[in-house]
Amino acid sequence: MQFSNYIPTINTLRNALDIALVFIIVYVVLKLLRGTRAVPTVVGMVILALLYWFAVVQDLATLEFVLRSAVLYIGVAIIVLFQSEIRQALIYFGNRLRFPILRRQSDGLGETIYNEIILAATTLSSEKIGALIVIERTVGLRNFIDAGVQLDAKLSYDLLVTIFNPATPLHDGAVIIHNERIAAASVFLPLTKNPSISRELGTRHRAAIGITEGTDAITVIVSEETGLISFVENGILKRNLDTTALRALLLSAMDMPVIETKREPTKTMKESETEITLG
């Protein structure tokens, strides 16, 4: 008799856990869909569901038959319409689980690598030279690397500045960094299809957002028109960054502690060339 007294309690806890899990899943899905092109489609599906309910209640046999037949194709339609959102949701859950056995050994880059990226971005910004740097994290970018010009070169400030120099053939496109090396240059990335993106953003920024929507990569962008430095993670664009802000975002994205250090002002390429000439 005493054991049976615990059964209602166990069922209550199980129901509460069941409701809590469903709530978390729905909340995360709605959070991922917010501000994307999937929202109008979801609204349309809700309207169809309400229309089907109305047909059942009012005994509208023809309309009910048509809508019931359409239900068979909704599963395929969801996969086709929401393939990018589904991929992003799976990446989101995978990154949050963080199983040690599934994580790569080299999740973060060395601090000197960040210094090279930041220095290059600052120099290119001062010269208003466009640049797009993609940093691979846990999701591999091999298909994009293979489609670009493969370099497999040691990452350095000089090489980054040289690649994005408009006089070089590799300046058009993105650079992908893999395991502290420049894996490829002149890589063309998929553009974002998010309708909420400002029309002021050009192809370079849209490509930077697009690659972070389909993978967990992060990107650093230098605008060719304004020289502004931007950073993108999970499809979220942060613009008009200085050296300190960019460094903090990079270290945070790669799970490294942010250490505030005083650094001397970065010299531009023209200033360096002047010193060499005078010397």
pLDDT, position 272:
38
Q: Which of 55-69, 120-134, 224-238, 239-253 has the lowest mean pLDDT?
A: 55-69
Name all domains of the chain by residue range, CATH numbers in brackets.
2-97 (no CATH), 111-269 (3.40.1700.10)
Rounded to an integer, what distance in angstroms lies between the CA atom of residue 118 and that of residue 190?
A: 24
pLDDT, position 131:
94
Picking from 125, 140, 154, 149, the residue whose alpha carbon sits closest to that of residue 230 is 125
Task: With cut-offs at 50, 70 and 90, classify the pLDDT of residue 201.
Answer: confident
Cα distances from 205 to residues 83, 210, 211, 265, in angstroms, run: 22, 9, 10, 27
244 against 76, higher pLDDT: 244
pLDDT > 90? residue 125: yes
pLDDT > 90? residue 30: no
pLDDT > 60? residue 86: yes
Question: Which are the contacts of 55, defined by CB distance < 8 A and separation ≥ 6?
Answer: 63, 64, 67
Q: How far is CA 260 from the centre of its chain?
A: 26
Average pLDDT for residues 250-278, to the nearest whole number? 51
Picking from 94, 177, 182, 183, the residue whose alpha carbon sits closest to that of residue 146 is 183
Q: Which of 187-196, 197-206, 248-257 has the lowest mean pLDDT?
A: 248-257
Per-residue pLDDT of 168-195, as tens digits, reads 998 889 999 998 899 999 999 988 877 7
> Backbone phi, then psi, for 104, in 5-degree steps?
-75, 155
pLDDT > 70? residue 220: yes
Structure tokens at 216: 């967990």
Q: Which of 137-141, 243-247, 262-266, 274-278 has the lowest mean pLDDT?
A: 274-278
Rounded to an integer, what distance in angstroms lies between the CA atom of residue 145 and that of residue 186?
A: 9
